[in-house]
Amino acid sequence: MSESSLFQHRVLVVNQKAKLIELTNQYSVFDENGNNIGHVNQVGQSKAKKLLRLVSSVDQFLTHHFDITDASGSLVMSVTRPAKVFKSTVLINDSTGAEIGRIVQENVFGKIHFALEVGGLKIGAIKAENWRAWNFSIEDADGREVARVTKKFAGLAREMFTTADSYVVELHEVPSQPLHSLIIAAALSIDTALKQDTRL
């Protein structure tokens, strides 16, 4: 799994593809030079579920599945957000279907934060400092920031990335597994599996 190009970069740019009606989420992932290194695709949606999403705001009560693939289309990880009422738990599985860990919402009010858990043990956290400004701090088990998600990153070589449809994941270091996998999965699913929680 760690051989995937998604794990070989310290900067990932996530670009949401524009759609007329946002019923099936699809994202492309680039490195800092604009090279496509992966995709995030929502999978397993029936026509009935798409219609339900169009005519109502019941997203949070539906189960959502996302596949994270590399540039060649090979499955790297899968993300499942089961139906929820208040707090959500997002499941992260590897390409064989084995569970890597979970992203567990820890609070409902205030600045939302999530625990990164493996086998029930907390090995890290995502803290939403500002949803609107897209500032997220990702920490290890000791509370040390190891990655950051933001809309602004001065090191990008290409102007193709606009703040309107992209965000940047910057890893300050290369974490050990399984934390590395959970950070990548969490960062790539912020706007799909996690951000929908702000509707509460």
Give 166's strand partners: 15
Please identify every stretch of the chain with a pLDDT value under 70, giving residue numbers as ranges.
1-3, 17-25, 45-62, 84-87, 131, 133, 153-164, 192-200
CA atoms within 13 A on the CB side of 8: 12
3-state helix, strand, coil in the chain (%, to 5): 20, 40, 40
Structural domains in the chain, CATH included, are 5-199 (2.40.160.200)
Residue whose tokens read 């300050």:
172
- Check: CB of residue 166 under 8 Å from CB of residue 83: no
Tens of pLDDT, residues 123-181: 999 998 876 767 899 999 999 999 999 887 666 655 555 656 788 999 999 999 999 99
pTM above 0.85, yes or no: no
Nearest-Å Rg of the Cα atoms of the chain is 16
- Could you count the other beta carbons within 10 Å of the beta carbon of residue 127? 16
